[in-house]
C-alpha cells in the first residue's frame, strides 16, 4: 500500500512527460495519442507513444463514455486495434453492470429495530 501524498510533496515528474493529441473520425472513433516528450518539449524518442481509444454508448440513462487502451506503436496500428478494444471494453462494462444488478437483486434486507414498535429497513 502506498503512503498518502502530502500536498507539499506534489512535483511534476519531468521523466514522464507526454503531449496529448486527439484524433477523431467525427463519427464514432476518438483516439488520444500521448506522445512522450522531454522537459524542453522535444520528442523523447526513447519512449513509445501511448494510444487510448474512446467513444460513447447511448443508453436509456444517456451517453456513457467508454475508454480502452490500444496496444499500438503507430496511429495506423491504433486504428486497426480500435474496434476490438472498444468491443471488449463495452462487453466488460455490460458484465460489470449485470454483476452489480445480480448482487443488488440477491441482497437480503434485514429489519433493524428502531425503538418501540418501529422497524427500520436497511
Is residue 31 within 8 A of residue 82, CB to CB? The reply is: yes
Question: Nearest Cα to 33, choosing from 1, 92, 77?
Answer: 77
CA distance 37 to 39: 7
- Confidence (pLDDT) at 3: 73
Q: Residue 26 pLDDT more than 60?
A: yes
- Confidence (pLDDT) at 2: 67
pLDDT in tens, 33-56: 999 999 999 999 999 999 999 999
- Confidence (pLDDT) at 60: 87
Amino acid at each position: 500500500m502506498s503512503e498518502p501524498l502530502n500536498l507539499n510533496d506534489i512535483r511534476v515528474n519531468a521523466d514522464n512527460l507526454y503531449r496529448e493529441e486527439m484524433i477523431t473520425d467525427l463519427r464514432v472513433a476518438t483516439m488520444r495519442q500521448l506522445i512522450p516528450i522531454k522537459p524542453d518539449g522535444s520528442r523523447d524518442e526513447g519512449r513509445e507513444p501511448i494510444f487510448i481509444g474512446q467513444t460513447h454508448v447511448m443508453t436509456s440513462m444517456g451517453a456513457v463514455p467508454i475508454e480502452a487502451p490500444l496496444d499500438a506503436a503507430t496511429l495506423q496500428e491504433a486504428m486497426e486495434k480500435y474496434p476490438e478494444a472498444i468491443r471488449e471494453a463495452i462487453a466488460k462494462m455490460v458484465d460489470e453492470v449485470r454483476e452489480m444488478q445480480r448482487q443488488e437483486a440477491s441482497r437480503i434486507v434485514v429489519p433493524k429495530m428502531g425503538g418501540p414498535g418501529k422497524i427500520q429497513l436497511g
